[in-house]
């Protein structure tokens, strides 16, 4: 097979899940049990999935950037995965540059790599070498669709949360000073930051949401596409990117900063990737929204993406359940309504929406331990009268194993859970295991577990526990020799899967399996059916992409209409309203169909407008894809700034539209 030069979009819908068989993403490579991989992949297939996504971290795979050094066992394991997935006739997508791994130590760390990848020549060269090496591994694999980068792995906005001296330091190291010097005068920068600067080197990165945030977001968006994504494609041609669909709040204006300029990527990338959570576009006040509102927000999201890019769209993380710590007030879907939500999704993934993916097939604990399944021999465990085997560790009487974790996610130290499996070394016996948490030789937590064990592995749990950054977990065996495996110490439990962490089905599991089988059989493209007329009651983001639920259109809109009679020419009619008090309003609409542009018969004015476009020639296909574009948008609140808090930029309020045959 010859090299493919762009991301492959198959004929049928993509129904995907990320591959995390035993733990969460950062622990994936250090906990994967290859002996159980086949059965796990079969479960994925049985539930209707046709594609898996694998995270391939830059750290871990590439241990050092100067000189460049790789961890060959990870590449061997990746080769095994590629072959196993091919044998199951599944498609494969790689997330490249993932920024977390709980394997061997890497230098520089993931944060510095993502900040220096543009401005530091050696880090940049190492990044390209990493991409080259992975491309050589997959370029001849027919079942590999391609890879993607993710904005989250180059999330430069995190630098804006640092203290001022660090923000000034990173402004130089990430290339922001050079960008400012090329695009702004010192007077302009002093005005933006409301601080007098004598030299551009004095300008720090903005504090998150503060003065200068809009300019930094524009810089970040430009760097993501032009300096990270586009050059990366020359090293891994079948590449696309997950773009940021959330916005940043500009605190001093109350306005939001979007990232629409990243959505179209470059000219020859056929697919753009997004993510989803019910929090998008919601009030996020700690409650649950009605399904009608959830769907309206979802359609608005998809429409917003579709009107800012002509590319097909794939949702790689469809997180309709999202319990991310720190976002507890995010709007959610009621648990009792999840099944109904899933059953209604078949109409969402239509047209250029090529499919969706789950972040995980089952719920996963955010395990803080390294090499928790004892698959590797890199330094992280201290063994005393203990011997590590592949997949388990044997602790003799009086022996112990200890691990100190440098960084633990989350702010709290309470309510940790410790799961593990235990077995005897020889036959039935009484086990006496002492589990403790130690910091600077002080015991902060202790639990003594006495239980009957035999040769069969049994699952045990200690909860609640306390644990924190820099603390040590110590397991001391007071009894006869024992075997331990699959240790998991976690406080955070990601609930994104269709099965819980113990493999039990959820209330929507059957509905999702049925949806998967339905979608996997569908062809990608236009919907099979579309109306010829959309009236006032039907106008909304479900029927027209690029409009809000109240009918206001953004600058662009996209939709589908059926041709009344394919043998006859037709005319496109739209009725639209503009408030009468918008005295300065003047606008024009254009219609775009199959590469041809049609101008409206007249300009838009305040009041009720009826416009026609055409004639549109007779065509073979029953369903027509159309795009509307306005010359400009107007801020709603600009006409009543003291009483209106609607800061949307809109073009027209659509009342109805139709295709009519010309006799």
**Domain boundaries along the sequence of the chain:** 382-491, 533-661
Position 494 scores a pLDDT of 87
Alpha-carbon distance of 171 to 193, in angstroms, equals 14
Q: Answer yes or no: is pLDDT of 2 > 60.
A: no
The secondary structure element, H or E, covering residue 386 is strand 382-389
Position 1 scores a pLDDT of 40
When comparing pLDDT for 483 and 566, which is higher? 483
Mark out the alpha helices in 202-290 (DSSP H runs): 213-222, 230-233
DSSP 51-66: EEEEEEEHHHHEEEET
- Asked if residues 131 and 236 have their Cβ atoms less than 8 Å apart, the reply is yes
- Asked if residues 79 and 133 have their Cβ atoms less than 8 Å apart, the reply is no
653-661 β-sheet, strand order: 533-534, 653-661, 570-578, 607-616
DSSP 22: S
DSSP 244: P
pLDDT in tens, 416-461: 999 999 999 988 899 999 999 999 989 999 999 999 999 999 999 9
Q: 303 in helix, strand or coil? A: helix
Q: Answer yes or no: is pLDDT of 3 > 70.
A: no
Question: What does the pLDDT average to over 17-22?
Answer: 91
Residue 4 neighbours by CB under 8 Å, 6+ apart? 139, 146, 237, 238
For residue 359, what pLDDT band results from cuts at 50, 70 and 90?
A: very high
The secondary structure element, H or E, covering residue 342 is helix 338-343
Alpha-carbon distance of 369 to 382, in angstroms, equals 13
Alpha-carbon distance of 564 to 570, in angstroms, equals 8
Adjacent-strand bridge partners of 477: 433
- Asked if residues 402 and 474 have their Cβ atoms less than 8 Å apart, the reply is yes
Q: Answer yes or no: is pLDDT of 656 > 70.
A: yes
Question: What does the pLDDT average to over 288-307?
Answer: 88
User: What are the respective helix, strand and coil percentages of the chain, to the nearest 5?
Assistant: 25, 35, 40
Whether this prediction's pTM lies above 0.75 is answered by: yes
Q: Answer yes or no: is pLDDT of 373 > 80.
A: yes
b vs e for 170-187, b when ≥16 Cβ sit within 10 Å of the residue's Cβ? Answer: bbbebbbbebbeeebebe
- Asked if residues 134 and 95 have their Cβ atoms less than 8 Å apart, the reply is no
Position 368 scores a pLDDT of 94
When comparing pLDDT for 565 and 481, which is higher? 481
Instruction: Return the structure tokens found at 542.
Output: 């479900």
pLDDT in tens, 470-496: 999 999 999 999 999 999 999 988 889
Instruction: Return the structure tokens found at 174.
Output: 């990430």
Domain spanning 533-661, CATH architecture: Sandwich (2.60)
Out of 1-15, 178-192, 207-221, 373-387, least confident range: 1-15
Question: What does the pLDDT average to over 604-625?
Answer: 89
Out of 45-54, 236-245, 623-632, least confident range: 623-632
Q: Which CATH number fits domain 382-491: 2.60.120.260, 3.60.15.10, 3.30.565.10, 3.30.360.10?
A: 2.60.120.260
Taking all residues of the chain, what is their mean pLDDT, rounded to a whole number? Answer: 93
pLDDT in tens, 493-552: 888 999 998 889 999 999 999 999 999 998 887 777 789 999 999 998 888 989 998 999
Position 204 scores a pLDDT of 96
Q: Answer yes or no: is pLDDT of 608 > 70.
A: yes
pLDDT in tens, 248-257: 999 999 889 9
Alpha-carbon distance of 473 to 404, in angstroms, equals 6
DSSP 260: G
Long-range contacts of 376-380 (CB under 8 A, 24+ apart): 376/30, 376/73, 376/103, 376/104, 378/103, 378/104, 378/105
Position 21 scores a pLDDT of 87
Position 591 scores a pLDDT of 96
Please check whether the two domains, 382-491 and 533-661, share a CATH topology. yes
Question: What does the pLDDT average to over 307-330?
Answer: 88
Position 35 scores a pLDDT of 87
Question: Which residue shows structure tokens 């995010």?
Answer: 330
Residue 158 neighbours by CB under 8 Å, 6+ apart? 111
């Amino acid at each position: 097979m010859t090299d493919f030069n762009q991301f492959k979009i198959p004929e049928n819908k993509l129904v995907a899940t990320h591959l995390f068989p035993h733990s969460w993403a950062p622990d994936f490579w250090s906990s994967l049990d290859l002996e159980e991989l086949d059965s796990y992949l079969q479960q994925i297939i049985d539930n209707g999935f046709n594609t898996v996504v694998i995270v391939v971290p830059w750290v871990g795979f590439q241990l050092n950037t100067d000189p460049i050094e790789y961890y060959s066992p990870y590449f061997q394991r990746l080769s095994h995965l590629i072959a196993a997935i091919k044998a199951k006739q599944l498609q494969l997508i790689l997330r490249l540059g993932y920024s977390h791994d709980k394997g061997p130590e890497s230098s520089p760390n993931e944060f510095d790599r993502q900040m220096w990848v543009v401005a530091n020549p050696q880090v940049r060269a190492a990044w390209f070498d990493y991409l080259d090496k992975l491309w050589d591994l997959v370029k001849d694999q027919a079942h590999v669709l391609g890879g993607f980068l993710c904005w989250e792995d180059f999330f430069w906005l995190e630098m804006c949360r640092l203290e001022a001296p660090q923000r000034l330091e990173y402004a130089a190291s990430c290339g922001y000073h050079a960008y400012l010097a090329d695009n702004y005068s010192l007077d302009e920068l002093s005005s933006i930051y409301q601080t007098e600067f004598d030299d551009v080197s004095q300008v720090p990165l903005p504090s998150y949401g503060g003065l200068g945030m809009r300019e930094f977001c524009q810089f970040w968006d430009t760097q993501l596409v032009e300096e990270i994504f586009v050059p990366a494609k020359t090293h891994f041609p079948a590449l696309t990117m997950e773009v940021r669909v959330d916005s940043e709040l500009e605190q001093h204006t109350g306005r939001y900063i979007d990232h629409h300029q990243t959505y179209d990527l470059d000219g020859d990338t056929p697919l753009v990737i997004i993510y989803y959570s019910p929090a998008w576009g919601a009030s996020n006040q700690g409650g649950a929204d009605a399904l009608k509102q959830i769907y309206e927000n979802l359609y608005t999201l998809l429409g917003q993406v579709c009107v800012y890019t002509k590319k097909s769209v794939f949702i790689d993380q469809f997180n309709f359940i999202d319990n991310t710590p720190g976002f507890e007030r995010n709007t959610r879907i009621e648990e009792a309504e999840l099944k109904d939500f899933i059953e209604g999704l078949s109409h969402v993934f239509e047209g250029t929406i090529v499919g969706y993916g789950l972040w995980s097939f089952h719920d996963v604990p955010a395990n803080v331990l390294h090499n928790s399944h004892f698959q590797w021999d890199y330094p992280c465990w201290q063994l005393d009268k203990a011997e590590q085997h592949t997949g388990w560790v044997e602790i003799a009487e009086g022996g112990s194993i200890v691990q100190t974790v440098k960084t633990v996610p989350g702010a709290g130290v309470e309510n940790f859970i410790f799961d593990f499996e235990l077995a005897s070394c020889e036959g039935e016996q009484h086990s006496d295991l002492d589990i403790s948490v130690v910091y600077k030789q002080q015991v902060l937590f202790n639990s003594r577990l006495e239980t009957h064990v035999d040769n069969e592995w049994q699952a045990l749990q200690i909860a609640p526990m306390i644990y924190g950054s820099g603390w040590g977990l110590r397991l001391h065996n007071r009894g006869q020799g024992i075997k331990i495996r699959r240790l998991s110490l976690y406080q955070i439990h990601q609930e994104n899967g269709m099965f819980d962490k113990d493999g039990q089905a959820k209330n929507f599991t059957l509905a999702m399996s049925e949806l998967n089988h339905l979608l996997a059989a569908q062809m990608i493209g236009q919907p099979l059916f579309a109306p010829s007329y959309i009236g006032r009651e039907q106008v909304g983001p479900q029927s027209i992409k690029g409009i809000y639920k109240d009918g206001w259109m953004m600058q662009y809109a996209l939709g589908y209409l059926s041709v009344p009679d394919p043998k006859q020419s037709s005319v496109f009619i739209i009725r639209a309203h503009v408030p009468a008090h918008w005295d300065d309003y003047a606008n024009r609409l254009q219609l775009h169909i199959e590469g041809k542009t049609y101008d409206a018969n007249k300009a838009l004015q305040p009041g009720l407008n009826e416009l026609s476009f055409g004639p549109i020639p007779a065509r073979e296909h029953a369903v027509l894809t159309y795009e509307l574009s306005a010359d400009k948008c107007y801020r709603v609140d600009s006409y009543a700034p003291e009483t209106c808090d609607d800061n949307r930029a809109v073009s027209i309020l659509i009342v109805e539209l139709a295709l009519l045959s010309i006799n």
